[in-house]
Structure 1
Amino acid sequence: MNSIDTIVILLYFALLIAVGVIGSRRARTSEEYALAGRNLGMFMFLGCLSAVILGGASTIGTAKLGYTYGISGIWFVTMIGAGIMLLGALFIKRISQSNVTTISEFLGKRYNAETRLVSALVAAIYTLMVAVTQVIGMGTIINVLLGWDMTLSMVVGGGIVLFYTILGGMWSVTMTDIIQFIVMTVGVFLVMLPMSLSHVGGWDQLASRLPAAHFDLTSIGGEQIFQYFLLYALGMVVSQDIWQRVFTARTMQISRTGSVLAGVYSMLYAVSLTIIGMCAFVAFPQLENPQNAFTTMAISILPNGVLGLVLASVCSALMSTASGTLLASSTLLTHDIMKPYWFRDMDDRQLLRLSRVTTLFIGALAIVFSIWIQDVLVALDVAYAILSGAIFVPLVVGYFWKRATAKAAFSSIIAGTVVVLAGLAIEGLSSTNPIMYGIAVSLAVMIGMSYTTAPSVSDNVHSIK
């Protein structure tokens, strides 16, 4: 990169900080801080939701998969899009009517306080781990682009996200996400995709120079596609950072339609990044590390200034996911653990202050973990595995089956978590089987205990009509 590209990226960072300061003026209540006042229109909701689900792994990872497997590389992000569409098509109505802030609060209303507590702990750990991966990704990009020390790069990248998230909460996150959504869309669809195809001579030349396997939709393997389904399609349905975005919509129709459109956008994003990766395979067939396919292509084909914009779009994807997951983790801890158990008499102003302090703590913890671990891709898979194996069943079964009891839900979450962790320890962290074991055991416990235990008083009180 030259000085023009560096200036573009630094100006982009400065813009995010300025937007964070502006957003802080709108976050005057705890609900505005956590959910942007539940007042987002269609465009802002769509941009906000799309930005949070498409992180750095979606951008760099899909280009890597396209480089390695060809068109079959679409399945990772396609399953993310499928999960969002599933959430919008089947669950939005009940979620919107429940008037809650977190997924754990929803489970607490449906079952009892114990279920709310244990699900909050599981979901908070998951969202924290996602934030850690994004901070590492930001650090890696800043380190490569600007030449800064890796630790300093993670502190700067994570610190910028933490700054605007603490100040304005969901309002700052929403405003920055809209900027990031626009930058991502322009950078990927209008710049990188057409210029990558042009660099290799167009689609016909690309098709003639690639191996036939690169046009096989299943070349990545059926087991890998199924694993993406278990981890991401099911994981999106029970992810707090996604639910928190759903709650920001002004109306149920906006949340439902926007979720489906975000799923479609994700699938188009998957196809575009996969093709960019395929172009990189033709242009740089001897690339030592396929993970560098996107950045190598960008650095090689883009003019000065435009390169800075496109690389800022990668930072955008990382920052939008990081801010959303930081806020999600702090919201879970504040609303589902600290306020109900330690600060019951707290007024709204005090709750807003507690939310900001908790966000600061979670953000600092994420930066420390990032510096300490520096590679948590496996840990992210573990977090998704626990999320899918432990929370998916009690949420879905309780949603559709009135007979489900609180004791069954609590036991189902515990059993699913234990089985997933044991399975990962025995079969390896990359195995798909523990997720299926966890879901199967969770379902068996849920159904068995619901039939053998009578509904408690809490089931009647908290049941969502």
Structure 2
Amino acid sequence: MRQQEADCTERQTWQWMFLDCKSEVTMVGGRNINVLVGVFTMTATWVGGGYIMGTAEAVYSPTQGLIWAMGPPAYLINFILGGLFFAKPMRSKRYVTMLDPFQHRYGNIFTATLLLPALVSDILWVACILAALGGTMNVILGLSSTLSILISAAVSIIYTFLGGLYSVAYTDIIQLSFIFFSLWLCVPFLLLSPAVTDVSQSQAHFNQSSGISWLGELELADAGKWADEMLLLALGGLAYQALYQRILSASSSAQAQVTCYAAAGTVFVMGIPSVVIGAVASSADWNQTAYGLPPPFERGEAGKILPLALQNLTPTWLSVLGIGAVAAAVMSSMDSVLLSSASMFTQNIYKTTLRKQASERELQWVIRASVLLVGLAGTGLAFSDDSVFALWMLSGDLLYCVILPQLVGVLHFSCTNSYGAIIGYLVGLLLRGLSGEPVLGIPPILLYPGWREQDGVITQYFPYRTLAMLLSVICIVSVSWLVGLAFCHQLIPLSWDVLGVFEEKKEAEGDEVPVSLGEKNNILNTRL
């Protein structure tokens, strides 16, 4: 007990770097989450309603197929890269949130601008997983989607509101176990359904001339779009606070890396039942079911294919279990997203900028209020009619184009400074915004090679998101290096340093050498 009190006192000495102990327990579980619990909660966070229903929707859709079901392989890559390149530098410096390294190197104002795209992505993620649950309840139980969404949102908000990361992590164990059992139990019943004669053939959209089935095909003209979406899921996930919340809750850097590697395998396995459900639905003769013809895709219900398959191709009791699996997936992801947004706002905005002398009790209530507001915002968007798959992709869009380049720069390039970060931020945001977004009804201003127009909607088939991300990284590193070089060689007077990135430091010889804020923080971190 005395040792814990001493540790708390030491951390309070550096209030600008760490939250007090109680807040840290709420956000990162006191940094003592073991590997097994860490793997469960990390997997459960990614295996949400969007992952389960979006994967089934992609496999079933005649315009996509298995090759476009990118979730399982993309998340596998995401966790492996996270363990290799991001877990150690984040955990070894005892950060509390993903935004801490930015705050230490660039200051509070720029960090606040990074919070905005992160919050937007989290709200869209909440909307995606709640929409998945609403569609499932509506199909199988006949309940109103509105009522289903409200009930699930209320449950997730309440236990996240009360318990912090501990409640999130340990409920994730129960939820993930239930998801695994329920979905895998459905697989043999689906394959043995009388309406499914041959999974190798697609009754709903089988084309005798081309031989296209639920496996799908990738034409050369679509390769850019496919690569862009694959990289969005595989790399965009590296910019989620929910990922780092679990990395930072590990007791050591090595344990954080092991957690990432183990989660890579489990999240891939959890995607297999959704692939089977999409393939079976594509191969089923819907005329032999109570659903009848036309099939779901022709009725515009491809986004609800998972609950429709469970309702019509499995026994009633099993379809109810399927509802439970989707509900568990929704809550296991939603609670993580709510806590991650609340942690970033409390640690990086409220504590360090708005109320530096806030009491521990006050911080706890700020976390709870943030959980409530983000939950309500995501719940409101869940009532839209957009595809679950589309919302799932959109939720990682800004993180991939704007936040990921910043993370790469601040963690792996010591030369980066505020000037390069600001230019990279603007380049990534501007290029992404000018490329348009059909889901939000934003028309593109920049038209890249290979774009197509259908029913008045323009779709980009060039990897425009990846281009924005790469150019942002290049701008961050190159501008930072050039500005640092100019100041160090006095090609630019230090009086022009309007952001206060550099300051004069007199060496023993009396020379004046500019030292960046990042270098000062690195020295302080080493001493700590």
TM-score range, shorter chain: 0.7 to 0.9
Among 177, 180, 189, the residue aligned to 1:182: 177
SS at match of 1:421: helix
2:92 paired residue number: 97
Establish whether residue 332 from structure 1 lines up as the match of residue 340 from structure 2.
no
Letter of the 1:275 counterpart = V
State how far apart, in whole Å, the 1-side matches of 2:431 and 2:265 are: 34
SS at match of 2:96: coil
Among 192, 212, 221, the residue aligned to 1:198: 192
SS at match of 1:207: coil
Q: Deviations over 1:370-403 (max 9, x none)?
A: 34x4537556544422211112122113322222
Q: Deviations over 1:392-421 (max 9, x none)?
A: 122113322222223212321232112211
1:147 paired residue number: 142
- 1:162-177 matches, within 5 Å, as 162-177=157-172
Establish whether residue 445 from structure 1 lines up as the match of residue 475 from structure 2.
yes
1:262 paired residue number: 263
State how far apart, in whole Å, the 2-side matches of 1:127 and 1:430 are: 24
SS at match of 1:148: coil
1:12 paired residue number: none
Are the counterparts in 1 of residues 135 and 304 from structure 2 also a CA contact under 8 Å? Answer: no
SS at match of 1:404: coil
State how far apart, in whole Å, the 2-side matches of 1:183 and 1:113 are: 42
Gaps of 5+ in 2: 1-20, 287-293, 437-443, 448-456, 485-500, 503-515
Establish whether residue 309 from structure 1 lines up as the match of residue 321 from structure 2.
yes
2:422 paired residue number: 410
1:361 paired residue number: 373
Instruction: Give how far 1:200 is off.
Output: 6.4
Cα pair distance change 1:430/1:185, threshold 3 Å: farther
Highest RCO, 1 vs 2 (Cα 8 Å, sep ≥ 6): 1
State how far apart, in whole Å, the 2-side matches of 1:422 and 1:244 are: 32
Instruction: Give how far 1:166 is off.
Output: 0.5
Q: Deviations over 1:286-330 (max 9, x none)?
A: 522333332222123433433322221011112211111111111
Are the counterparts in 2 of residues 62 and 74 from structure 1 also a CA contact under 8 Å? Answer: yes
Are the counterparts in 1 of residues 129 and 333 from structure 2 also a CA contact under 8 Å? Answer: yes
Instruction: Give how far 1:255 is off.
Output: 2.0
Among 351, 356, 362, the residue aligned to 1:350: 362
1:294 paired residue number: 306
Cα pair distance change 1:448/1:254, threshold 3 Å: closer
Are the counterparts in 2 of residues 71 and 214 from structure 1 also a CA contact under 8 Å? Answer: no
Establish whether residue 462 from structure 1 lines up as the match of residue 521 from structure 2.
yes
The percentage of counterpart residues that share the same residue type is: 20
Instruction: Give how far 1:205 is off.
Output: 4.3
Cα pair distance change 1:65/1:77, threshold 3 Å: same
Instruction: Out of 57-66 and 299-308, give the one that drifted further.
Output: 299-308
Cα pair distance change 1:383/1:307, threshold 3 Å: closer
Letter of the 1:148 counterpart = L
Cα pair distance change 1:352/1:99, threshold 3 Å: same
Among 465, 479, 483, the residue aligned to 1:435: 465
State how far apart, in whole Å, the 2-side matches of 1:90 and 1:137 are: 32
Among 406, 412, 425, the residue aligned to 1:394: 406
Cα pair distance change 1:296/1:150, threshold 3 Å: closer
State how far apart, in whole Å, the 1-side matches of 2:178 and 2:459 are: 33
Instruction: Give how far 1:364 is off.
Output: 2.3
Letter of the 1:394 counterpart = Q
Letter of the 1:65 counterpart = A
State how far apart, in whole Å, the 2-side matches of 1:29 and 1:312 are: 34
Are the counterparts in 2 of residues 70 and 275 from structure 1 also a CA contact under 8 Å? Answer: no
State how far apart, in whole Å, the 1-side matches of 2:254 and 2:217 are: 35
2:487 paired residue number: none
Instruction: Give how far 1:137 is off.
Output: 2.4
Establish whether residue 130 from structure 1 lines up as the match of residue 125 from structure 2.
yes
Letter of the 2:31 counterpart = R
SS at match of 2:435: helix
Instruction: Give how far 1:222 is off.
Output: 2.7
Are the counterparts in 1 of residues 178 and 328 from structure 2 also a CA contact under 8 Å? Answer: yes
Are the counterparts in 2 of residues 127 and 240 from structure 1 also a CA contact under 8 Å? Answer: no
1:229 paired residue number: 230
State how far apart, in whole Å, the 1-side matches of 2:252 and 2:176 are: 21
Count of residue correspondences: 435
Cα pair distance change 1:430/1:158, threshold 3 Å: farther
State how far apart, in whole Å, the 2-side matches of 1:337 and 1:263 are: 32
- 1:233-244 matches, within 5 Å, as 233-244=234-245
State how far apart, in whole Å, the 1-side matches of 2:371 and 2:126 are: 12
Are the counterparts in 1 of residues 201 and 213 from structure 2 also a CA contact under 8 Å? Answer: no
State how far apart, in whole Å, the 1-side matches of 2:269 and 2:224 are: 23
Establish whether residue 77 from structure 1 lines up as the match of residue 77 from structure 2.
no
Are the counterparts in 1 of residues 137 and 148 from structure 2 also a CA contact under 8 Å? Answer: yes
Are the counterparts in 1 of residues 417 and 480 from structure 2 also a CA contact under 8 Å? Answer: yes
Instruction: Give how far 1:260 is off.
Output: 1.6
Cα pair distance change 1:261/1:214, threshold 3 Å: farther
Establish whether residue 61 from structure 1 lines up as the match of residue 72 from structure 2.
no
Are the counterparts in 2 of residues 406 and 459 from structure 1 also a CA contact under 8 Å? Answer: no
Q: Which has the higher helix share?
A: 1
Coordinate RMSD, CA, aligned:
2.7
Among 139, 143, 153, the residue aligned to 1:158: 153
Instruction: Out of 233-242 and 210-219, give the one that drifted further.
Output: 210-219
Are the counterparts in 1 of residues 156 and 334 from structure 2 also a CA contact under 8 Å? Answer: yes
Are the counterparts in 2 of residues 77 and 267 from structure 1 also a CA contact under 8 Å? Answer: yes
Q: Deviations over 1:258-304 (max 9, x none)?
A: 21222222222333321221112222365223333322221234334
Q: Deviations over 1:24-51 (max 9, x none)?
A: xxxx921222122222222211110111
SS at match of 1:344: coil
Instruction: Give how far 1:87 is off.
Output: 0.6
Are the counterparts in 2 of residues 33 and 169 from structure 1 also a CA contact under 8 Å? Answer: yes
Are the counterparts in 2 of residues 114 and 410 from structure 1 also a CA contact under 8 Å? Answer: no
Instruction: Give how far 1:57 is off.
Output: 1.7
State how far apart, in whole Å, the 2-side matches of 1:156 and 1:429 are: 37
Structure number with greater Rg is 2
